[in-house]
Chains A and B, each alone.
Chain A
Amino acid sequence: MNIFNKLVKNFGKANSIALLICIILLLLEFAGDRHGETEYEDFLFFPAFFGFISCIIIFRIGVALRAIFMRDEDYYDK
């Protein structure tokens, strides 16, 4: 319980709950036979890994694209 309190203090209540849900979802993997639409998805924790990495990649590419596609707010009005 102390660990959770410490987590809540440092990471925030909502964030800690989200982390807890993530851990539960990982543990549920062992509660039944999870299989995906493709054979690659059958790897352990594949969807969790894919979701996390995808979000980071999207963020990184999005930030990189700012330099190319972002202009002043009145760009078209000039």
Chain B
Amino acid sequence: MINSIPPGLVMFLGAFLVPLFPHIYRQFYMIFLVLLSAISLFSAEGSHLIIQVQDIQFLLHHSDNLSFPFAIVFHIAAFLVIIYGGHIKDWREQLAILSYAGAAIAALHAGDLFTLFLWWEATAFTSVILIFGGKTYRAFRSAIRYIVIQVGSGILLLSGAILLFQSNNEAIFKELDINSTAGLLIFIAFGIKAAFPFLNGWLQDSYPEASEAGTVALSAFTTKLAIYALARSFAGVEILIYIGALMTFFPIFFAVIENDLRRVLAFSLNNQLGFMVVAIGIGTELAINGAVAHAFAHIIYKGLLFMSMGAVLYRVGTCKASELGGLFKYMPITAVCSIVGAVSISAFPLFSGFVAKSLIMSSLGYEGLTFIYFMLLFASAGVLHHSGIKIPFFAFFAHDAGLKPKEAPINMQAAMVLSSILCILIGIFPSLFYQLLPYSTYYQPYDFSHVLSQLQLLMFAVFAFICLWHFKIYPPELNSTVLNSDWFYRVLFYKIINFFVIRLFSLWEVFSSSLIKVVNLIYVKVQTSSIQSGNSAVKVGRSTVLILFSLGFVLVCNYLLF
């Protein structure tokens, strides 16, 4: 019976009882719900819970080899976030974390697009609470923009699902045709959440504004749900290769110039999503395995990096590279965990990033996509630059900023240490990790060529950074805002609206003043002629002339238009 309940549903519903529990008991209750939800993961593949509402079938619980690895890592992420946020006394944030994780896990098990839409929107409404949790005016405004975009994505998904249902009489969540209108709408909906180029502004805008634990939760679920959805519906769609390549490429430059280290990680997240999107676009078994493996590993190491920066923010009150430095002495455990996250994301051998990214790079090589391969290789050096070096270096080393904070709270340390252990275990035992992946293909990441090539690439990139820093070529970090694609709707959109509104008003001014002149002219003429003719019965007011004129105008328009 319990196996038919969709995983995540107990977390989502159980979250509403969170306010009833006092602080510490609440954490145990939340962890209990995560474990309870995980039981349903071990149900057999297939559809387990179907509800028929009139003509529409809601497949509430469908599991297969693609949803399984995502569901496992979503549960792990939920568990880690709960531990990480253990010190938070605000029940609203805890409620949001649990319900958000639950909605994301339930979305993974949606068998039809209508069920997916419900959970898709549920993730939007629960996650926005975490951005409000930033408790600043900027966070508030960012949250409003976030929810508009997320709901917009959901509406596109629903529109696509309705069109699909109209033509096929079903809206199963499976491979879709991007050339159909329905498929295209759904593709864009997924693309918004996966932060495609020019649709990515919401990510860097909102994630760094959330609370410390909120950002960790946000980094795990929303975008990876979109990756899962793309892998299910659009695997092998060629355009994804080029979209993904652009995603890996451009954010690295923005990450290099960004000062806020949590925003650097948000750019880096975008870049990592690009690797997964490329792999989905390739669509072979090895590539899909690579996308899933990368998503799995990425959730853990990116979460770890966000955790370490969250710990810095919690203790120091800022995450700006220009104001940080020299924290290694005071926060050594956080620093070491951050370094583990950094080497994992940089894909150093023996860490999780290496065993995951190798699958994608090899699949590119096998398919002969040389140019894309080198773009991703270049992006790999970029990842090392902004996430592997910039994050730990500017926060914990660089210059001494004179800060003397305490080490992170014990619960934060526990979550970071657990995440670090997972990063290392995945890196050391890839064959066990690969068993979780959708397809059983043989792959050996640790051979002489692979390891040496990767080490040369990374170590010489590190050496280049060392030279730039040592010879004082690397410029200092500056307090600044880096423009991103959200500029289009935060600035340009309003400029265009202003432009047209001002023109419209000035046009109306010209029109109304001309109208008054004409009315005055007619009034004077009528009055003069009535006085001259000696007919004093004609008494016409200006407003009457205006009304007559307007009626005449409407009649003429009506005649011309209809």
Q: Judging by beta carbons under 8 Å apart, are A59 and B460 in contact? A: no
Q: How far is the CB of B393 from chain A (nearest CB, A)?
A: 11
> Any chain B CB within 8 A of the CB of A55?
yes
B384 / chain A contacts, CB cutoff of 8 Å: 55
Q: Judging by beta carbons under 8 Å apart, are A37 and B364 in contact? A: yes
B540 / chain A contacts, CB cutoff of 8 Å: none
Q: Judging by beta carbons under 8 Å apart, are B459 and A69 in contact? A: no
Q: Judging by beta carbons under 8 Å apart, are B257 and A69 in contact? A: yes
Of B257, B460, B462, which is within 8 A of A70 by CB?
A: B257
Q: Judging by beta carbons under 8 Å apart, are B466 and A15 in contact? A: yes
Report whether over half of chain B's contact residues are helix, strand or loop; otherwise say mixed: helix
Of B374, B465, B491, which is within 8 A of A55 by CB?
A: B465
B382 / chain A contacts, CB cutoff of 8 Å: 54, 58
Q: How far is the CB of A64 from chain B (nearest CB, A)?
A: 9
Q: Judging by beta carbons under 8 Å apart, are A35 and B449 in contact? A: yes
Q: Judging by beta carbons under 8 Å apart, are B480 and A29 in contact? A: no
Q: How far is the CB of B34 from chain A (nearest CB, A)?
A: 37
Q: How far is the CB of B22 from chain A (nearest CB, A)?
A: 39
Q: Given A12-B470, A59-B474, A71-B481, A48 and B456 touching (CB < 8 A)?
A: yes
Of B366, B385, B460, which is within 8 A of A48 by CB?
A: B460
Q: How far is the CA of A45 from the CA of B461 in the complex (A)?
A: 13
Q: Given A37-B364, A48-B457, A66-B257, A73 and B474 touching (CB < 8 A)?
A: no
Q: Give the segment of B66-74, B223-231, B248-256, B500-508 that binds chain A.
A: B248-256
Q: How far is the CA of A45 from the CA of B462 in the complex (A)?
A: 16
Q: How far is the CA of A49 from the CA of B457 in the complex (A)?
A: 8
> Any chain A CB within 8 A of the CB of B138?
yes
Q: Judging by beta carbons under 8 Å apart, are A70 and B478 in contact? A: yes
Q: Judging by beta carbons under 8 Å apart, are A70 and B464 in contact? A: no
User: What total count of A-B pairs have CB within 8 Å?
Assistant: 150
Interface centre among A33, A47, A69, A72 (most CB of B within 10 A): A47
Q: How far is the CA of A61 from the CA of B381 in the complex (A)?
A: 14
A41 / chain B contacts, CB cutoff of 8 Å: 453
A53 / chain B contacts, CB cutoff of 8 Å: 464
Q: Judging by beta carbons under 8 Å apart, are A25 and B468 in contact? A: no
> Any chain A CB within 8 A of the CB of B377?
yes
A71 / chain B contacts, CB cutoff of 8 Å: 480-483
Q: Judging by beta carbons under 8 Å apart, are B463 and A52 in contact? A: yes
A63 / chain B contacts, CB cutoff of 8 Å: 257, 475
Interface size on A, as a range, is 35 or more
> Any chain A CB within 8 A of the CB of B284?
no
Q: How far is the CB of B366 from chain A (nearest CB, A)?
A: 8
Q: How far is the CB of B259 from chain A (nearest CB, A)?
A: 8
Residue-wise, chain B 478-512 has the 8 Å CB interface mask toward A (1 for contact) of 11111110000011000000000000000000000
> Any chain B CB within 8 A of the CB of A38?
yes
Q: Judging by beta carbons under 8 Å apart, are A55 and B381 in contact? A: yes
Q: How far is the CA of A26 from the CA of B452 in the complex (A)?
A: 9
Q: How far is the CB of A14 from chain B (nearest CB, A)?
A: 8
> Any chain B CB within 8 A of the CB of A28?
yes
Residue-wise, chain A 11-49 has the 8 Å CB interface mask toward B (1 for contact) of 110010011011001101100111111101100010111
> Any chain A CB within 8 A of the CB of B378?
yes
> Any chain A CB within 8 A of the CB of B362?
yes
Q: Judging by beta carbons under 8 Å apart, are A62 and B253 in contact? A: yes
Q: Judging by beta carbons under 8 Å apart, are A26 and B253 in contact? A: no
What 3 pairs across the A-B complex have the smallest Cβ distances? Answer: A37-B365, A62-B256, A55-B464
Task: Jot down 16 A-B pairs with beta carbons below 8 A, ordered by A.
Answer: A15-B466, A18-B463, A18-B466, A26-B456, A33-B448, A34-B452, A37-B365, A38-B365, A51-B464, A52-B464, A55-B468, A59-B474, A61-B256, A65-B254, A70-B257, A73-B481
